[in-house]
Copies of this chain bind each other. A is one copy, B any other.
Amino acid sequence: MGSLDSNPASFDAFAAEADGFQPLNAEDVRSYLHKSVDFIYDYYKSVESLPVLPDVEPGYLSRLLQSAPPSAAAPFDIAMKEVREAVVPGMTHWASPNFFAFFPATNSAAAIAGELIASAMNTVGFTWQANPAATEMEVLALDWLAQLLRLPESFMMNRTSAGRGTGGGVILGTTSEAMLVTLVAARDAALRRMGSNGVAGIARLTVYAADQTHSTFFKACRLAGFDPANIRSMPTGPDTDYGLDPSKLLEVMQADVDAGLVPTYICATVGTTSSNAVDPVGAVADVAARFNAWVHVDAAYAGSACICPEFRHHLDGVERVDSISMSPHKWLMTCLDCTCLWVRDAHRLTDSLETNPEYLKNDASDSGTVTDLKDMQVGVGRRFRGLKLWMVMRTYGSTRLQEHIRSDVAMAKLFEEWVRADDRFEVVVPRNFALVCFRVKPHAGMTEEETEAANRELMERLNRTGKAYLAHTVIGGKFVLRFAVGSSLQEERHVRSAWELIRKKTTEIMSGEMSV
């Protein structure tokens, strides 16, 4: 039994009153949602003052809430009270303007509204027929975003558009899923080319990515059954700013071919999680072409920046890759989850992913004139995610979306300048987007271990204040602080406050003051 768990006696009347339970009664829906909107309004107004990282111990929630499900109904206000009193105090507030960790999960009024409407309509658009509007809105939103990114036309034509290209797109939940489905398509195509009997040849297939690639890529390879020994994590270094070196890639792939292996897939990242490194997309595609290997571009975070002409060059060569994914839930103000995947030849995906059970058969699918998006993802069920993405573009237009990206980058640049102007610090790798990787630099004969300890101490002291939250990484053996600008409520004053706090805590540490 937790401490917030008892229903006041007045509930008995409430619980007894029910006469035919109507879970979607329109009056209740409106009432519950109005209360939720009030909560959200208050939350956004106050989140700045809440500790970004909560001071709770594992198991804290089960000590506050009841451990067994109630049998009686309770007014919605009770759930809201428990959210306020038990959930909020244990939250890491990604919406806080003082959040600088990981990558921001940017969001917007239009996106939340789109998600709300989709939740209420609650359709399951696995086939076109199961919700034509959802499929077509998803295709339209992907085509709009592809235009903003200036992706080649070949990626853009789903079968429901005029023109009937071979390309196609789909909205998935995570980049990991985008990697997995393209890995499986590439795997199956390679096995077919080898004339493999079933999966017998799978142990000969090889995949490649820079060592800076997100760990989820290496996990997706294992999920798809690639041999752990054949998953090549290519070393990178400061000479390429931690981007993949195409000449080394060529060497390794050729050596694999010489050893009787079959290069199958390369993942190139535009904007790595660790440091925002950029693999050279065009050069990677050129190497891959020699071996008929699939190239996927993971632009989860930095893809959003490529809607600005000044960042678009990071995608140069994309017309020669097989697939690209990016996540508007990271930096395009679209609440979770929304990862966009485009492929040049949708049939290569559907060849591996199509199912056709009797209970989903229908004339539209049989006609071949529509895309059933279930055949481009892991599962069957799917939410109406296209709505929120379309609403973001429809409401803000490309001008404001670009303005938003540029404003974040300008704030990061300012922070970078402050770091450079204080000789206790160093910027460890060049800043490409809105992430600054920096650290307290070794001084007065400090060893690398002592430098790491000082930076760890700085991070921990900062995060304990509740006034800023940032995370770390390790680049080239160095322990580095990641300062990611862009939380949607963030303004320059928050970046400035965080910087002042960093300076203050650094001074404390250097003068040997104890942590408070």
Q: When each residue 32-65 of chain A gets 1 if its CB lies under 8 Å from chain B and 0 otherwise, what string results?
A: 1111110111011100000001101011111001
Contact for A378 among B83, B228, B378, CB less than 8 A: B378
Task: Please report the C-alpha to C-alpha distance between residue A198 and residue B115 in the assembled complex, in whole angstroms.
Answer: 43
From known contacts A32-B113, A396-B23, infer whether A102 and B359 are also in contact, taking CB-CB under 8 Å: yes
Tell which of A176, A219, A489 has the most Cβ of chain B within 10 Å. A219
Residues of chain B within 8 A (CB-CB) of A403 are 21
Task: Please report the C-alpha to C-alpha distance between residue A215 and residue B218 in the assembled complex, in whole angstroms.
Answer: 27
Contact for A198 among B90, B105, B124, B228, CB less than 8 A: B228
Contact for A123 among B39, B92, B482, B488, CB less than 8 A: B92
Please, how many residues of chain A have a CB less than 8 angstroms from a CB on the other chain? Answer: 173
Residues of chain B within 8 A (CB-CB) of A68 are 144, 147
Residues of chain B within 8 A (CB-CB) of A86 are 133
Task: Please report the C-alpha to C-alpha distance between residue A401 and residue B93 in the assembled complex, in whole angstroms.
Answer: 32
Contact for A36 among B39, B92, B116, CB less than 8 A: B116
B82:A394 contact, CB within 8 angstroms: yes
A130:B92 contact, CB within 8 angstroms: yes
A33:B44 contact, CB within 8 angstroms: no
B198:A203 contact, CB within 8 angstroms: yes
Main secondary structure on A side of the interface with B: helix
B95:A121 contact, CB within 8 angstroms: yes
Interface residues of A in 353-402 (CB under 8 A from B): 353, 355-361, 364, 367, 369-370, 378-383, 387, 390-391, 393-400
Interface-located stretch among A71-79, A235-243, A262-270, A504-512: A71-79
B329:A381 contact, CB within 8 angstroms: yes
Residues of chain B within 8 A (CB-CB) of A117 are 36, 39-40, 83
From known contacts A23-B333, A105-B123, infer whether A59 and B162 are also in contact, taking CB-CB under 8 Å: yes
B24:A108 contact, CB within 8 angstroms: yes
Residues of chain B within 8 A (CB-CB) of A30 are 37, 40-41
Contact for A215 among B129, B144, B356, CB less than 8 A: B356
Q: Give min CB distance, A1 to chain B, whole Å.
A: 12
Q: When each residue 262-293 of chain A gets 1 if its CB lies under 8 Å from chain B and 0 otherwise, what string results?
A: 00000000000110000000000000000000
Interface-located stretch among A247-255, A310-318, A416-424, A469-477: A469-477
Task: Please report the C-alpha to C-alpha distance between residue A52 and residue B224 in the assembled complex, in whole angstroms.
Answer: 39
B23:A109 contact, CB within 8 angstroms: yes
Q: Name A227's closest neighbour in chain B (CB-CB).
A: B198
Is A261 among interface residues, defined by CB-CB distance under 8 A? Answer: no
Task: Please report the C-alpha to C-alpha distance between residue A79 and residue B117 in the assembled complex, in whole angstroms.
Answer: 12
Contact for A369 among B58, B88, B390, CB less than 8 A: B58
Task: Please report the C-alpha to C-alpha distance between residue A184 and residue B378 in the assembled complex, in whole angstroms.
Answer: 14
Top 8 A-B residue pairs of the complex, sorted by shortest distance between their CB atoms: A225-B225, A174-B379, A90-B133, A176-B379, A23-B108, A61-B136, A69-B144, A215-B355
- A–B complex contacts, Cβ < 8 Å, 26 sampled: A21-B400, A25-B109, A26-B41, A30-B37, A31-B109, A32-B110, A58-B364, A59-B136, A59-B160, A61-B136, A61-B160, A69-B393, A73-B396, A76-B395, A79-B110, A79-B394, A92-B125, A95-B123, A119-B335, A174-B380, A174-B381, A198-B227, A198-B230, A216-B355, A223-B224, A223-B378
Q: Name 5 extra pairs, CB < 8 A, besides A24-B108, A90-B136.
A: A32-B110, A67-B140, A88-B133, A95-B121, A198-B227
